Copies of this chain bind each other. A is one copy, B any other.
């Protein structure tokens, strides 16, 4: 029998497990999100890892994400910011599960300079992983952004997370697109129109009029001949541009921004940042998450 470790990210929507042998990812298994399993979290984990358990007890199991929330499997605390990777790792909840040393990683909590508290669970693994993958990122005052349903903007100084802010831009866009009177229901996927709308949304966000710019998604169709795809792009640009304006005012870093996430969304943010004169670079989300959970080998 070959010894192996299990690391993974168990978020609200997905369980993603990686099997590590000799420092290499050798297998991956996906399971249900923690939000879907409720009280049956342990059984869901057991089901998902069952084929691996047949090979013997893992050397370790390390999980990050909403698995550690109050409604998750085993509640892990929040490490308070400022927090470095060591402080975060020390805050994990550790126990034996079916004979394997198991760690549920902590989340992070902070209080902004404006007194507003914030929390994250899962993204901190990517942030600390990014600093591990790129030592230059762990020097000076850096801004790391994880775009998404709830975008996270983290201010990192010399590898410590000083503070962060959640901006629910992706959720707002989905609500506008699917549930509002402003989101077009007849978009056909015209990328040129979408890009033109995105650019105009970015420009409007630059005027500081995000709420007062929303209705234009409808009025520009009615009065200026714009298309449904244009309107979708416009709403996206307006929200992302507004997010960037506001978050940069809250969290001021030395230079550009490091984006962590999937290529399509990161590219969108890179364009929006460039429109505000900010240089950005991108790191792969999976690579950062695995590095944060201690995996330093090649990506599978």
Query: Which A residues contact B (CB, under 8 angstroms)?
Result: 109, 111, 114, 116-119, 150, 165-169, 171-172, 175-176, 179-182, 204, 207-216, 219-220, 222-224, 239, 242-243, 246-247, 249-250
Q: Contact between A116 and B246 (Cβ–Cβ < 8 Å)?
A: no
Q: Evaluate whether A222 and B167 lie within 8 angstroms (CB atoms) in the complex, with A150-B215, A172-B211, A243-B211 already known.
A: no
Contact A246 B212 (CB under 8 A): yes
With contacts A175-B175, A179-B179, A249-B208 known, is A214 near B167, CB below 8 A? yes
Q: Is the CB of A179 within 8 A of B172?
A: no
Residues on the B chain within 8 Å of A247, using CB: 212
- CB contacts (< 8 Å) of A150 on chain B: these are 215
Whether the pair B214, A168 counts as a contact (CB closer than 8 A) is: yes
Pull 7 A–B residue pairs with CB atoms less than 8 Å apart, ordered by A. Answer: A116-B213, A167-B212, A168-B181, A168-B215, A179-B179, A210-B242, A211-B246
Docked complex Cα distance between A246 and B238 (Å): 14
Closest to A226 in B: B117
Which residue from chain B places its CB closest to the CB of A242 in the assembled complex? B211
Apart from A168-B180, A212-B250, list 11 A-B contacts with CB within 8 A: A114-B204, A116-B213, A117-B220, A119-B219, A166-B215, A168-B211, A179-B179, A210-B211, A210-B246, A211-B239, A211-B243
Decide if B246 touches A208 in the complex (CB within 8 Å).
yes
* A208-B208, A250-B212 given; A116·B165 CB < 8 A: no
The docked-state distance in angstroms from the alpha carbon of A216 to that of B223 is: 37
B167 touching A223 by the CB < 8 A rule? Answer: no
Distance (whole angstroms) from the CB of A23 to the closest CB of chain B: 37
Determine which of B165, B179, B210 lies in contact with A210 in the assembled complex, contact meaning CB atoms within 8 Å.
B210
Given contacts A167-B214, A167-B215, A168-B180, contact A223 B117 (CB under 8 A): yes
CB nearest to A248 among chain B residues? B212
